[in-house]
Amino acid sequence: MKGRVSAFTIIHVAGSDSVSVPYGIAVIEGTTRLLARVEQPTQLTIGADVEFEAHDLFGWIVTNT
Amino acid sequence: VSTPRVAIAGCSLTPFGRADGSSIVDLAAHAAEGALQASKASPGDVDAIYLSTFASAVLGGQNFPAAVLASRIGATPIPAIAVEGACASGSVALKQAINLIRSGGAEAVLVVGAEKMTHRDTSAVTAALAQGTDVTSGGFRAGLTFPGFFALLASAYLRRYDIQRADLASVAVKNRRHGARNPLAHFQSLVTAEEVLASRPIAEPLNLLDCSPISDGAAAIVVATLEWARAHVAVPVEVLACEQSSGPASAEEIDDFTSLSAAREAARRAFQEAGVAPSDIDVAEVHDCFSIAEAIALEDVGLFERGTALAATGEGETSFGGRVLVNPSGGLLSKGHPIGATGVAQIIEIAQQLRGVAHTQAPDPELGLTHNVGGTGGLGSVTILGRAA
């Protein structure tokens, strides 16, 4: 699915020491608003068009920036 | 039968910061006994206790805290109720006390807020705080932390209003300057904008010094009819309005990432109830859990126009000699943020300001405001206080 990033952050302190940081969280405006995990966050900016898909653990994950 | 006017009588708070060796109930009891003493009252003189805490069980290892507190301070058999509203827990407790008094069910109520957090590591606290949202939401599953949520607000806000990241630093610099004069504040040292910008990233664009600290602490007030308060303290402070609204309980429900709707609605109701306007407010304590949160708070309650709060802060409009004194206590960024205590501590700061006895005193204020937000804006509370006529 495709959508546009309307807000974005790169998280450096997670809620568990076992979680690898940094990772990104993007607010994506598509057919609906959703939040998706971004595993390669440095390439993403607000206003960017992205592709994302469902993910077992994170709910949604950005697959193409 | 007319609805009784409600006032703040005695107040007390512990130092905010690390309280090694003290449990959450130890802290709550210390503040509670101080507030009763300041009200020239004993536990038998109040009709109920409301205790606000967000994570007494998860972080503090203490479930059932209100009953334990009542027993500890010798307040049995009066009702003792714990309330939880994430970071707005203290305001929720205050609202319940006011409702009880206005309904005629009580003449005086002890409101206590407390949290014990510093004995747990940062990741454990971050994980506990992250549960102040809908845990089935996509944001929670994706790994959104609370710093992350406010970082999303910051990214949207800076972009919408074409504001530079460096301008956010003015909030932390100002609040640390205020907090340096507060002997109960967690941080009592100054920081520069350069230090804020050079501190380590937590959730971009927010750095460590843009974030409120993990703190222990407790705060307590006796809320009572104005008559009761007049008989117990020299200068009662009247509650002109205390309004609470709900809003989106997860990030994906938010339409506008530059504002929190529950706070806007609570402010609208509070100003209507009090019969005053934002321009009448002399001093305010707002929920600056992160630097961006203060800017959004000031705009949500109507003290500043949209997109202008950061520039106003940089120009000194929210400090001494400015248009309105904001967070004279140092706010959450400097004073600290023991979650359950925060809303009660905000009320204490404004009450002390209106009495003319605050550590960082505004010049002769007549009206003050508190703004307290819980979760992803899932709760918003605004209280307006004034000198009792």
Express each pLDDT in B105-145 by its tens digit.
Answer: 999 999 999 999 999 999 999 999 999 999 999 999 999 99
Q: Which residue, among B288, B376, B377, has the nearest Cα to B335 in the 3D structure?
A: B288
* A16 or B379, greater pLDDT: B379
Angle at B117 between CA B250 and CA B66, to 5 degrees: 85
Chains A, B: CB contacts under 8 A, how many?
97
Q: Residue B107, Cβ neighbours under 10 Å: how many?
A: 16
pLDDT value, residue A42: 81
Query: Is the ipTM, as predicted for this complex, more than 0.95?
Result: yes
Residue A15 above 90 pLDDT?
A: no
Interchain CB contact of A54 with B (< 8 Å): no
Residue B287 bears catalytic tag: no
Higher pLDDT, B32 or A64: B32
Mean pLDDT of the residues in chain B:
97
- H or E segment and range at residue B167: helix B165-179
Give the relative orientation of helices B89-102 and B339-355 as an angle to the nearest 10 degrees. 60
Candidates B36, B34, B62, B63; CA nearest to B47 is B36
pLDDT category at B58 given cuts 50, 70, 90 is: very high
Which of B127, B137, B152 is closest, CB to CB, to A7? B152
Q: How far is A64 from chain B (nearest CA, A)?
A: 17
Chain B residues with CB-CB distance to A15 below 8 A: 123, 126-127, 130, 143, 145
Nearest CA in chain B to A22: B203
The yes-or-no verdict on residue B207 having pLDDT over 90 is yes
Q: What is the pLDDT of residue B265?
A: 98
Q: Check residue B389 and give its pLDDT.
A: 81
Q: Tell me which residue has tokens 């697959």.
A: A63
pLDDT at B2: 87
Backbone angles phi, psi at B127, to 5 degrees: -65, -40
Cα–Cα distance, B126 to B123 (Å, whole number):
5
- Whether residue A36 lies within 8 A of chain B, CB to CB, comes out as yes
Locate the chain B residue with the closest alpha carbon to A17: B123
Packed helices B165-179 and B291-300: angle between N→C axes, nearest 10 degrees? 90
Calculate ∠ Cα B153-B132-B344, nearest 5°.
Answer: 90
What are the angstrom distances between the C-alpha of B94 and each of B114, B219, B300, B347? Answer: 13, 12, 21, 9
Helix and strand numbers (H, E) in chain A are 0, 5
Determine the Cα angle at B348 with ends B347 and B351, to 5°: 85
Residue A37 has its nearest CB partner, among B137, B142, B155, at B142
Q: Mean of the pLDDT values across residues B202-212?
A: 98
Tell me phi and psi for residue B16, to 5 degrees.
Answer: -95, 140
- A16 touching B, CB under 8 A? yes
Chain B residues whose C-beta is within 8 A of a chain A C-beta are: 121-123, 126-127, 130, 137-139, 141-145, 147-148, 151-156, 159, 200-206, 251-252, 257
Kindly report the pTM of this predicted structure. 0.98
Q: Give the Cα separation of B78 and B67 in Å (integer).
A: 10
Q: Which residues of B touch A58 (CB under 8 A)?
A: 141-143
Q: For residue B358, what pLDDT band results from cuts at 50, 70 and 90?
A: very high
Report the distance separating Cα B323 and Cα B225, nearest Å: 32
CA distance A53 to A23: 17
| Angle, in degrees to the nearest 10, between helices B122-130 and B146-160 | 70
Contact B202 A12 (CB under 8 A): yes
Residue A43, pLDDT > 80, answer no
Establish whether B87 is a catalytic residue: yes
Among B388, B380, B132, B128, CA closest to B263: B380
> What is the spatial distance between Cα B313 and Cα B317, in angstroms, rounded to a whole number?
6
- H-type alpha helices, B289-338: 291-300, 309-314, 331-335
Residue B381 confidence class, pLDDT cut points 50, 70, 90: very high
Yes or no, beta carbons of B203 and A19 under 8 Å apart: no
| Mean pLDDT within B215-235 | 98
Tokens of B64: 């059932």
Q: What are phi and psi of B227, to 5 degrees?
A: -60, -50
Residue B224 has pLDDT above 80, yes or no: yes
Which band of pLDDT confidence, cut at 50, 70 and 90, is reported for residue A41? confident
The rounded radius of gyration (Å) of the Cα atoms in chain A is 11
